[in-house]
Structure 1
Amino acid sequence: MSETDNRITEKAGSLAKQIAGRIIRARYTLAMAVLALALVLSSGAPFAVLLLLGIVLLLIIAAFAPGQGSEETQLGHGEGTESGLSRISGVRLAEQLPDPMILFDAGGMVLYANKAAREAFRPLAEDSVLYLRFRAPEMHGLIQGVIADGEPRAIDYFERLPLDRWYKAMAMALDAGAGEPASFVLLFRDQTEMRRIDRMRSDFIANASHELRTPLASLRGFIETLQGPARKDEAARDRFLQIMQKQADRMSRLIDDLLSLSRLEMKAHIAVTESVDLANVLNHVADTLTPLANGLEVTIERQVPAHPVKVTGDRDELIQVFQNLLENACKYGQSGKRVIVRLKEEDHSAGREVVASIQDFGPGIPSEHLPRLTERFYRVDVETSRAQKGTGLGLAIVKHILTRHRGRLVIRSRVGEGSTFIVRFNAPETKS
């Protein structure tokens, strides 16, 4: 059959289905009409009278019969079908929403909760009481307030279990049709990440201010002393000037690290495209820090291949990463007397990786500190860090650089056995 014949056949089938549907919907009207006509015809009256009575009976039946056949009823059915489809589409849309949404009635009974709400506020099911799930007084006030006057309102809501989560909870009344019961919606906007970032920003400002205030206070104290009692004391002046120089250097390092972090954050979205020989980078860093290691009586051992090991990255930033890691290993693992720099390639089912590691044999790091080492200004031992001229930002810089390079930092440590900082890169694809 041709495409035209197929279309004609489809249209004919569709028309037949519509006619059949209309006959089925009008079956009661047709049955009553046939019965009425049979009664009229059996009465023996003249044909004109019979015809007139038949028409009147059909009009009466059409007006008062159940509404399957009238235009008004058909419109009603169309609206009902459309409403049903709207409800189905609405439920599907609500299920896809990333934010929790709950519908409830004027009694505080849950009518519907989408997938996000069911997962965030377990246990939560239809026909459960909203007040029993959310026991916080501010939530009760929010729900009761919107039920009482229908005015939209919002509060900050903190959910403690199973994890700490901050939400902006908003309640509003839904438009109800004539004769329909009142219903309300409760929406939750997750603000946990925003709160966390705000807290980190506040902590960062507080820590940076503290780190700068301490050397500044020291400088001011020594300057006042040199301007007063120690004005003519040459020995005290030389000693104070040395301390002031160290404090100024400390502030300079801190400002340099802060600027470095700021630059890294500004270009975090810019992908790296250059090819870098990581073996050359590690050898360069080891050569640069050998004088520091010798001064600390630490030996740097190298297990680096003689051939190039390529990764995709920024050479200067990768030098900064391994310079921070190797310098930390020399300073904080000084008691172990040696540090091992390794570089190797590993094959996995997901692909090939380039793995670089810095291992020291110092005192090690307690396990409770490991998850927080890359936080800004976090220190395992504040006094030791300051004695080693640490700013508390080195590992935060390492983390930011590796994030931009799609690299991963793994830290392994045991108290009394030393620490190993492992950096993993995806090896670049080789062109065939």
Structure 2
Amino acid sequence: MSLSPLSAMLDALPLPALLISSDERVCAINARARALLGTDGLGRHYISALRQPAVLDAVEQCFADGRERTTRYLGVEGGRDTTWRVTSAAAALEQGRGVLLSFEDITALEEAGQMRRDFVANVSHELRTPLTALVGFVETLRGPAKDDAAARERFLGIMEKEAGRMARLVEDLLSLSRVEEEERLRPATPLPLADLVRDVAELFRPLAARNGLELVVRVPDAPFSVPGDAGQVRQVLNNLLENAIKYGTGGGRVELTLSGPRQEPSLRGEGVRLAVRDHGEGIDSHHLARLTERFYRVDTHRSREVGGTGLGLAIVKHIVNRHRGRLRIESERGKGSRFTVILPTA
């Protein structure tokens, strides 16, 4: 078979591919492979074209015994690291045995696997501390503090706090799982948002007062609805208000504002804005892009002290995505933070 038909065949493949002839030179390569390797490679020895040891070993072994082998190739695309599964298979050419390399992009699979590993590691880490504390206190109550009533009461209070922390973590994990499962299903039920905002605000007034804060609520008088899941939008409000009250202590007030329908460029249509503003310490700018990551905390010690699980804003993000909305976060150190949810009205 001549080289021209070989090149034409490889160009028809949906994957990057190249063919190495019996003289160990690249005799055909398609456009996808050229883009991946960053070089034409045609006519060059496969070592100079491929360069990565694992791939070179697979090609060498395939030349030696003709058996198919699979390895990995690490690339870069648009500044992003990519991972490819490379299959090297023997090809019978007129000049003798050649090797056909095909590249399959498995970057998404690798990232998903890494996310699962990170998730398990984070959950294990979050549970280890309260579990260790509970085990330690149980041993103490059975031993040295067995007959010490004062110590028993103090330890039981701490155990209750740690057990509550684990319960909140499990509940947030279940909430996140439910939200992710439904994320592709866009809500269509009309939701009177102003009424929901007023109801949630009343529930949080006592908590705000206990923290020395005034909860200021601004809601339009004219009624309107948005397509939404009432339970999930309530959860968004709960999480944002709880954070604002926990971390806005000393700021005097927390503001909950709902704006009426108007054109929203980010939605390319009409939408409403739901904003929660505190006047606390604020957040340094370099943290803002990562706030919605699972288990990401600006101040790990303080977050755990006030009962945070590190999942609240991740849940908010997924709920907003399900509603085809936008989440905007603004903050400046020493001037507080504003979290704005933009929801489409249709």
1:381 to partner: Cα distance: 1.1
CA distance in 1 between partners of 2:122 and 2:73 (Å): 28
CA distance in 1 between partners of 2:193 and 2:200 (Å): 10
- Correspondence 1:171 to 2:122: no
- Correspondence 1:155 to 2:71: yes
Distance 1:329 1:153, change over 3 A: same
8 Å Cα contact 2:41-2:49 kept in structure 1: no
Which structure's residues are more often strand, by fraction?
2
8 Å Cα contact 1:108-1:143 kept in structure 2: no
Letter in 1 for 2:311: L
Partner of 1:302: 217
CA distance in 1 between partners of 2:27 and 2:328 (Å): 48
Distance 1:304 1:118, change over 3 A: farther
Distance 1:89 1:116, change over 3 A: closer
CA distance in 2 between partners of 1:375 and 1:420 (Å): 18
Partner of 2:313: 395
Distance 1:282 1:133, change over 3 A: farther
Letter in 2 for 1:394: G
1:367 to partner: Cα distance: 2.6
SS in 2 for 1:297: coil
8 Å Cα contact 1:358-1:420 kept in structure 2: yes
Larger radius of gyration: 1
**1:187-242 CA deviation, whole Å, 9 max, x = no partner?**
11222221221122112112212222211221222222222222222221211111
Partner of 1:342: 257
Distance 1:268 1:339, change over 3 A: same
CA distance in 2 between partners of 1:107 and 1:338 (Å): 77
SS in 2 for 1:389: coil
Letter in 1 for 2:326: R
Partner of 2:22: 106
CA distance in 2 between partners of 1:107 and 1:308 (Å): 78
Q: Extract unaligned runs of 5+ from structure 2.
A: none
Q: Extract unaligned runs of 5+ from structure 1.
A: 1-79
Partner of 1:407: 325
**1:353-403 CA deviation, whole Å, 9 max, x = no partner?**
222222222222223322222222111111010011001111121122222
Among 133, 146, 150, the alignment partner of 1:218 is 133
CA distance in 1 between partners of 2:18 and 2:7 (Å): 16
Among 161, 164, 174, the alignment partner of 1:246 is 161
- TM, length-normalised to structure 2: 0.89
1:160 to partner: Cα distance: 5.7
CA distance in 2 between partners of 1:133 and 1:292 (Å): 65
8 Å Cα contact 2:130-2:162 kept in structure 1: yes
Q: How high is the sequence identity, in percent, across the aligned residues? A: 41
Partner of 1:358: 276
CA distance in 2 between partners of 1:333 and 1:108 (Å): 67
Root-mean-square deviation (CA), in Å? 2.6
Which structure's residues are more often helix, by fraction?
1
Distance 1:108 1:351, change over 3 A: farther
Q: How does 1:26-175 map to 2 (within 5 A)?
A: 90=9, 93-94=12-13, 97=14, 99-159=15-75, 162-175=79-92
- TM, length-normalised to structure 1: 0.72
8 Å Cα contact 2:10-2:17 kept in structure 1: no
Partner of 1:320: 235
CA distance in 1 between partners of 2:294 and 2:76 (Å): 26
Identify the range of structure 1 (248-257 vs 371-380) with the bigger mean alpha-carbon deviation.
Answer: 371-380
1:117 to partner: Cα distance: 2.6
1:170 to partner: Cα distance: 0.9
Distance 1:279 1:159, change over 3 A: same
CA distance in 2 between partners of 1:105 and 1:87 (Å): 11
1:180 to partner: Cα distance: 5.2
Identify the range of structure 1 (230-239 vs 262-271) with the bigger mean alpha-carbon deviation.
Answer: 262-271
Distance 1:110 1:226, change over 3 A: same
SS in 2 for 1:229: coil
- Correspondence 1:371 to 2:289: yes
